[in-house]
């Protein structure tokens, strides 16, 4: 069956069956997702009809293993949670003082706008920009306040018009006088701590720790550079720019969040408190309201002339349907609807030739199939200067994070510097252009690449469009459906950890299989296929079991049912479990999740039938008689004509 795509009909409505088939789940699962708010039916239609854009987004999340993100959208309790981003603090001993402030605001139900207004005054007093005031000035007549910097005075007076003065009375004593620690962007830190988790993930508002930002600036910003953060938040990057830049008018910031922009403006004004200027920081939607030619209404000579664009853009933002349609028109090349990709494309457009981009991004940009759109744009328009791995920098973001540095030009001979833990090596950018889906396989050094190239140069096929796929079952209520001992009417069900190479281990769980009651279940015939492979989904290693007994799996164990004519499923299990394929997997993807897109790219060599027969026999011996895998493992190495030295290298990798 050919996979459904929406290429020919971009704004379509799908019915229940088509949606289930496209997402590879049962119709019952789709109904459950509607019930729990994960999916939305179209109001204008009666029954289960869905907008293709929403389904495409969900498909992207499933493909990139991010189903949890999807569930996050519907999870109200999570949306209402706040947390203190400790990683943003330079000195963690300040945490007690800050927690007091945050608790005061939350317990007294003071709105964020008012709180931050008062805290800004507190900061301005500390910085000696506002002269001492009496409380009457604050509640009755702001015109009497005196500021040493005229522009700051304007900002504050504009801000106060938006605030409920009754709330000010309630909160001013504490918030005006509480000690504020010396910490860059202290207001931004407090703002982040007060924002609800739901709003933060909606706008992708996780601000970047100082240390990471400073490194970027050190590498690229000079005293006369013209620089931009296109989604500046409260201005962590702008403040870092200001360490190097003399003229504050050369620092540009944009953000969609009004509160964040107010703080960012104030931060920059305080930083250059002896200068008379209005900051170039505005509240706008960068993707939809900023043209490439009229940024801040500059004249045409100034277009596309940034020296550096640096930021941590929002990741995985859920755009409204209206915005999605507009984005499709403005950025037709971005088919993934991924927010960081839009920001990257926009930033490339705003740089002059030779200008630099430095972005903080999830590792998935390098190798997940969905992001091939932006990888192609990067390869065509920039030299990738550096990819560096940053250790877990955001406490509440559980993906690996990288820093990607690009120079805008069309140089084809670029060597990319890769920094991973203590290792630094180079890779050839030109090779990535020829990779399937333009993958940036940065885990492979030049020796690895030459071995992998040879494997791929053997005539082969792949599982792309030649297999059916299924996720394991999510019951939604394991206590009711799963038991640890076998009961009447129950059957074995396997989790990822029960899957071993070639065989399923002893079952630890049993299920009363009532698919219509489960939260997520694939079409039943996929579990009941005559032959299938079951694999661990969360794993650094490829672990595939062969199953011809129609067993069920839970969500940590996924299923692939190969459908390649004259290609035995047993040969595929041998290849995927081999040390050689582990090496390819590790070097190409270095992932802790085994994704469908990874498996689809693995080469399946078109060897002679006598070789296939031998492999099948060896697999039978392993499954039925428990024979060691080593002989088969070596046999695969030899069929690819790898030298003993190369085999040792691969095994030690
Ligand atoms: C991950 S935060 C990063 C903030 C800042 N660059 C930093 O690194 O600390 C992403 C920011 O993007 C902003 N944002 C999201 N969508 C936007 C849009 N369409 N236009 C402008 N800003 C946007 C959010 O409000 C948020 O402040």
Average pLDDT of the chain is 86
Going by pLDDT thresholds of 50, 70 and 90, the confidence category of residue 34 is confident
Report the b/e string of 445-474 with b at 16+ CB within 10 A. Answer: eeebbebbeebbeeeeeebeeebbbbbbbb
Q: What is the DSSP letter of 208?
A: P
Q: How far is the CA of 309 from the centre of ligand 1 (A)?
A: 13
Cα–Cα distance measured from residue 376 to residue 382, given in angstroms and rounded to the nearest whole number: 10
Is 495 within 8 Å of 484 (Cβ atoms)?
A: no
pLDDT tens digits for range 385-414:
999 998 666 655 557 889 999 999 988 789
Average pLDDT over residues 310-331: 93
Say which range, 89-103, 162-176, 409-423, 633-647, has the weakest mean pLDDT: 162-176
**Nearest CA residue ID for atom 26, ligand 1:** 205
pLDDT tens digits for range 546-582:
999 999 999 899 999 999 999 999 999 999 999 999 9
Which of the listed residues 217, 235, 237, 314 should we mutate to test ligand 1's pocket, taking the one with most ligand atoms within 8 A of CB? 314
Q: Which of 512, 515, 562, 511 is nearest to 534 (CA)?
A: 562
Residue 25 predicted with pLDDT over 80: no
CATH class of the structural domain 13-67: mainly alpha
Q: How far is the CA of 149 from the centre of ligand 1 (A)?
A: 28
Q: How far is the CA of 203 from the centre of ligand 1 (A)?
A: 7
Within its chain, how far is the Cα of 518 from the centroid?
Answer: 28
More confident residue, 415 or 197: 415
Q: What is the dihedral of CA 145, 146, 150, 156, to 10 degrees?
A: -30
Average pLDDT over residues 421-450: 87
Average pLDDT over residues 75-102: 68
Within its chain, how far is the Cα of 229 from the centroid?
Answer: 19
Q: For position 307, what pLDDT does the model report?
A: 96
Q: How far is the CA of 383 from the centre of ligand 1 (A)?
A: 25
Neighbours of 65 (CB within 10 A): 21
**Nearest CA residue ID for atom 2, ligand 1:** 205
Q: Which atom of ligand 1 is nearest to the CA of 342?
A: 19
Residues spanned by CATH 3.90.220.10 within the chain? 467-652
Cα–Cα distance measured from residue 71 to residue 53, given in angstroms and rounded to the nearest whole number: 17
Residue identified by tokens 């953000």 is 255
Which of the listed residues 203, 281, 320 should we mutate to test ligand 1's pocket, taking the one with most ligand atoms within 8 A of CB? 203
Cα–Cα distance measured from residue 140 to residue 154, given in angstroms and rounded to the nearest whole number: 17
Going by pLDDT thresholds of 50, 70 and 90, the confidence category of residue 133 is low
Which of the listed residues 194, 211, 256, 326 should we mutate to test ligand 1's pocket, taking the one with most ligand atoms within 8 A of CB? 256
Cα–Cα distance measured from residue 574 to residue 631, given in angstroms and rounded to the nearest whole number: 11
Cα–Cα distance measured from residue 628 to residue 352, given in angstroms and rounded to the nearest whole number: 60
Q: Is 41 helix (H, G, I), strand (E, B) or coil?
A: coil
Q: What are phi and psi of 71, to 5 degrees?
A: -65, -30
Q: How far is the CA of 311 from the centre of ligand 1 (A)?
A: 9
Cα–Cα distance measured from residue 177 to residue 181, given in angstroms and rounded to the nearest whole number: 12
Q: Which atom of ligand 1 is nearest to the CA of 236?
A: 9
Q: How far is the CA of 191 from the centre of ligand 1 (A)?
A: 14
Going by pLDDT thresholds of 50, 70 and 90, the confidence category of residue 7 is very low
Residue 73 predicted with pLDDT over 80: no
Q: Which of 471, 489, 506 is nearest to 594 (CA)?
A: 471
**Greatest C-alpha distance within the chain:** 94
pLDDT tens digits for range 526-546:
999 999 999 999 999 999 999
Q: For position 343, what pLDDT does the model report?
A: 97
- Looking only at the bridges linking them, the beta strands covering 532-536 and 467-470 are unpaired
The DSSP bridge partners found for residue 552 are 493
**Nearest CA residue ID for atom 13, ligand 1:** 231
Q: How far is the CA of 343 from the centre of ligand 1 (A)?
A: 10
Q: For position 82, what pLDDT does the model report?
A: 60
Q: How far is the CA of 197 from the centre of ligand 1 (A)?
A: 15
Residue 80 predicted with pLDDT over 60: no
Q: For position 604, what pLDDT does the model report?
A: 98
Residue 196 predicted with pLDDT over 70: no
Q: What is the DSSP letter of 70?
A: H
Residues spanned by CATH 1.10.1660 within the chain? 13-67
Q: How far is the CA of 374 from the centre of ligand 1 (A)?
A: 19
**Nearest CA residue ID for atom 27, ligand 1:** 233
Cα–Cα distance measured from residue 118 to residue 103, given in angstroms and rounded to the nearest whole number: 15
Cα–Cα distance measured from residue 58 to residue 49, given in angstroms and rounded to the nearest whole number: 15
Residue 2 predicted with pLDDT over 50: no
Q: Which atom of ligand 1 is nearest to the CA of 203?
A: 15
CATH match for 467-652 among 3.30.70.360, 3.30.300.30, 1.10.10.60, 3.90.220.10:
3.90.220.10
Cα–Cα distance measured from residue 183 to residue 500, given in angstroms and rounded to the nearest whole number: 51
Average pLDDT over residues 112-140: 82
Residues with CB under 6 A from ligand 1: 203-208, 229, 231-233, 236-237, 254-257, 260, 285-287, 311-312, 314, 317
**Nearest CA residue ID for atom 16, ligand 1:** 203
Cα–Cα distance measured from residue 370 to residue 652, given in angstroms and rounded to the nearest whole number: 32
Average pLDDT over residues 469-497: 93
More confident residue, 10 or 464: 464
Q: For position 72, what pLDDT does the model report?
A: 40
Cα–Cα distance measured from residue 224 to residue 206, given in angstroms and rounded to the nearest whole number: 29
Q: For position 69, what pLDDT does the model report?
A: 46
Residue identified by tokens 């690229």 is 220
Cα–Cα distance measured from residue 131 to residue 524, given in angstroms and rounded to the nearest whole number: 73
Q: What is the DSSP letter of 3?
A: P
Going by pLDDT thresholds of 50, 70 and 90, the confidence category of residue 515 is very high
CATH class of the structural domain 200-442: alpha beta
Q: For position 429, what pLDDT does the model report?
A: 93
Is 42 within 8 Å of 49 (Cβ atoms)?
A: yes
Q: Which atom of ligand 1 is nearest to the CA of 339?
A: 16
The whole model's pTM is what?
0.71
Cα–Cα distance measured from residue 309 to residue 313, given in angstroms and rounded to the nearest whole number: 11
Strand locations in 463-529, DSSP E? Answer: 467-470, 482-483, 491-494, 509-511
Going by pLDDT thresholds of 50, 70 and 90, the confidence category of residue 137 is low
Q: How far is the CA of 288 from the centre of ligand 1 (A)?
A: 14
Which of the listed residues 238, 255, 258, 267 should we mutate to test ligand 1's pocket, taking the one with most ligand atoms within 8 A of CB? 255
Residues spanned by CATH 3.40.50.150 within the chain? 200-442
Q: Which of 495, 455, 446, 500 is nearest to 601 (CA)?
A: 455
Sign of the Cα torsion 283, 285, 289, 295 reads positive
Q: How far is the CA of 233 from the centre of ligand 1 (A)?
A: 5
Q: What is the DSSP letter of 182?
A: S
pLDDT tens digits for range 338-393:
999 999 999 999 999 999 999 999 988 998 889 999 999 999 999 999 999 986 66
Say which range, 101-110, 119-128, 244-253, 266-275, has the weakest mean pLDDT: 101-110
Percent of the chain with pLDDT over 70: 85
Q: Which of 250, 85, 267, 262 is nearest to 184 (CA)?
A: 267
């Amino acid at each position: 069956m050919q996979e459904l795509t929406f290429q020919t009909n971009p704004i379509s409505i799908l019915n229940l069956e088509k949606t289930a088939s496209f997402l590879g789940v049962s119709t019952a699962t789709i109904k459950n997702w509607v019930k729990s708010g994960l999916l939305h039916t179209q109001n204008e239609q009666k029954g289960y009809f869905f907008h293709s854009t929403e389904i495409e987004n969900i498909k992207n999340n499933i493909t990139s293993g991010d189903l949890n993100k999807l569930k996050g959208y519907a999870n109200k309790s999570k949306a209402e949670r706040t947390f203190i981003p400790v990683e943003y603090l330079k000195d963690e001993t300040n945490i007690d003082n800050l927690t007091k402030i945050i608790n005061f605001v939350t317990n007294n139900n003071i709105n964020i706008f008012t709180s931050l207004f008062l805290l800004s005054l507190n900061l301005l007093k500390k910085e000696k920009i506002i002269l001492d005031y009496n409380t009457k000035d604050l509640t009755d007549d702001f015109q009497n306040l005196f500021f040493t910097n005229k522009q700051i005075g304007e900002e504050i007076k504009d801000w106060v018009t938006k605030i409920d003065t009754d709330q000010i009375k309630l909160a001013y004593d504490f918030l005006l006088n509480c000690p504020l620690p010396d910490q860059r962007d202290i207001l931004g830190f407090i703002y982040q701590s007060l924002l609800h988790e739901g709003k933060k993930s909606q706008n992708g508002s996780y601000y970047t720790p100082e240390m990471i930002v400073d490194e970027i600036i050190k590498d690229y910003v000079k005293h006369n550079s013209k620089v931009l953060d296109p989604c500046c938040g409260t201005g962590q990057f702008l403040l870092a720019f200001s360490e190097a830049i003399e003229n504050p008018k050369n620092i540009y910031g944009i953000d969609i969040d009004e509160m964040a922009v107010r703080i960012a403006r104030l931060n920059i004004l305080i930083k250059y408190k002896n200068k008379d200027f209005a900051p170039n920081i505005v509240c706008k939607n960068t993707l939809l309201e900023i043209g490439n030619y009229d940024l801040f209404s500059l004249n045409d000579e100034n277009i596309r002339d940034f020296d550096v664009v640096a930021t941590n853009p929002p990741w995985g933002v859920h755009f409204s349907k209206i915005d999605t349609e507009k984005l499709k028109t403005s950025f037709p090349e971005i088919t993934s609807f991924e927010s960081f990709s839009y920001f990257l494309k926009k930033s490339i457009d705003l740089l002059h030739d030779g200008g630099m981009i430095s972005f903080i991004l999830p590792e998935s940009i390098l190798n997940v199939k969905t992001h091939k759109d932006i990888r192609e744009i990067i390869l065509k328009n920039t030299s990738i200067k550096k990819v560096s791995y940053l250790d877990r920098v955001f406490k509440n973001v559980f993906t690996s994070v990288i820093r990607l540095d690009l120079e805008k030009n069309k140089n084809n001979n670029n060597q990319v510097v890769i920094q991973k833990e203590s290792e630094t090596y180079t890779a050839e950018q030109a090779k990535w252009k020829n990779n399937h889906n333009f993958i940036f396989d940065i885990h492979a050094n030049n020796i690895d690449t030459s071995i992998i190239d040879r494997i791929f140069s053997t005539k082969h096929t792949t599982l792309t469009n030649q297999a059916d796929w299924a996720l394991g079952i999510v019951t939604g209520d394991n206590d009711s459906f799963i038991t640890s001992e076998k009961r009447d009417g129950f059957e074995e069900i396997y989790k990822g950890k029960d899957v071993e190479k070639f065989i399923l281990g002893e079952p630890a769980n049993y299920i009363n299989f009532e698919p219509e009651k489960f939260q997520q279940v694939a079409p039943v015939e996929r579990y009941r296929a005559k032959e299938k492979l079951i694999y661990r989904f969360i794993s650094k290693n490829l672990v595939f079991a062969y199953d011809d007994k129609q067993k069920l799996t839970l969500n940590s164990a996924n299923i692939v049912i190969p459908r390649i004519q004259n290609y035995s499923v047993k040969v595929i299990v041998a290849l995927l479990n081999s040390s050689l394929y582990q090496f390819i997997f590790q070097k190409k993807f270095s992932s802790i999740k085994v994704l469908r897109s990874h498996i689809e790219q693995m080469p399946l060599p078109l060897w002679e039938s006598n070789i296939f027969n031998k492999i099948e026999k060896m697999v039978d011996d392993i499954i039925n008689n428990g024979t060691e895998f080593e002989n088969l493992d070596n046999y695969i190495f030899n069929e690819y004509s790898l030298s003993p030295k190369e085999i040792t290298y691969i095994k030690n990798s």
